[in-house]
Structure 1
Amino acid sequence: MTIKYKAVKMNSPLKKEGKKEQYYPRVAGRQKKGLKDIAKSISQASSFSTIDVIGVLEAFTTEIPYFLKDNCSVELGDLGTFSLHVSGEGSDEIEEVNASKIKSVKMAFRPSVRVKKDLKKVDFKKVKK
């Protein structure tokens, strides 16, 4: 499998050293695969029907947020772990920290060691704009 990329002009983090803009590689031509695409692929590689797989994946998408909101991380074997992270407003005193200081909640995904290793084995191809 090959990941396509393109060069994109962006502001440089080295502005202080006189560089204003530089070109950086960015993934290009990315396609979306949806639940049905994944279900069809799993179905072709197993004895489960596409409908059965869709049912399991739909339930999965309901259960993940449920467990995250129950203050759990969700570990998915060799895939990785989902967890919630909060960010908020700082306080000078520990007693001032409360729920009203929380400004955003984000779901994070940490890939497993196996997935990280697998993603290192990728080829790249530069595409023109």
Structure 2
Amino acid sequence: MAVPYTIVPKKNNLVTPPEVKYYPIAVGRQVIDLDQLAKRVAQASSMSVADCYGVIIALTEQIAFELADGNIIKIKSLGTFQLTISSGGVEQPTESILPHIKATRIKYKPSKELQQKLKVVKFEKK
């Protein structure tokens, strides 16, 4: 099993003259949806597909709830999820910042355990 990649050119306009270098980018083989994921987890465990499906849905809902409540979610073997805020600045700290908040995003930091498992990944040119 290997991760497919392709090579793309990237132009650096910050140097004179502009230069082009080539970099690898990972190419996804396929999208694994919830049904497929639940089936694979069920095959690797003693749970049914329906149980796995229910746990994944419930976990997703609970993560969203906890993030919306301002909590950081840490799943030891998976990683950490945390909300970040994107906003414009204000002149004084006493000014209301709420109208300037543009978006929230979910920051994901993989666990060291997951990163370690991915160190053995092989690559193949597509």
TM-score, with normalisation over the residues of structure 1?
0.88
Query: Which position in structure 1 is the counterpart of 2:9?
Result: 9
Query: Which position in structure 2 is the counterpart of 1:81?
Result: 80
**Unmatched tracts of structure 2, length 5 or more:** none
- Residue identity matched to 1:54: Y
For residues 39-118 of structure 1, the aligned pairs below 5 Å read 39-118=38-117
Question: For residues 48-95 of structure 1, what are the alpha-carbon distances to aligned partners after superposition, in whole Å with 9 as ceiling and x for unaligned?
Answer: 110111011111121111110001011112110111000110122211
**Unmatched tracts of structure 1, length 5 or more:** none
Shift of 1:97: 4.7
Identity %: 33
Query: Which position in structure 2 is the counterpart of 1:119?
Result: 118
**Higher mean C-alpha displacement, 26-35 vs 61-70:** 26-35
TM-score, with normalisation over the residues of structure 2?
0.90
Shift of 1:20: 3.9
The alignment covers a number of residue pairs equal to: 126
- Structure 1 pair 29–68 and aligned structure 2 pair: CA distance change class (3 A): closer
Residues of 2 paired with 1:29 and 1:9: CA distance?
A: 19
Query: Which position in structure 2 is the counterpart of 1:23?
Result: 22
Residues of 2 paired with 1:50 and 1:95: CA distance?
A: 53
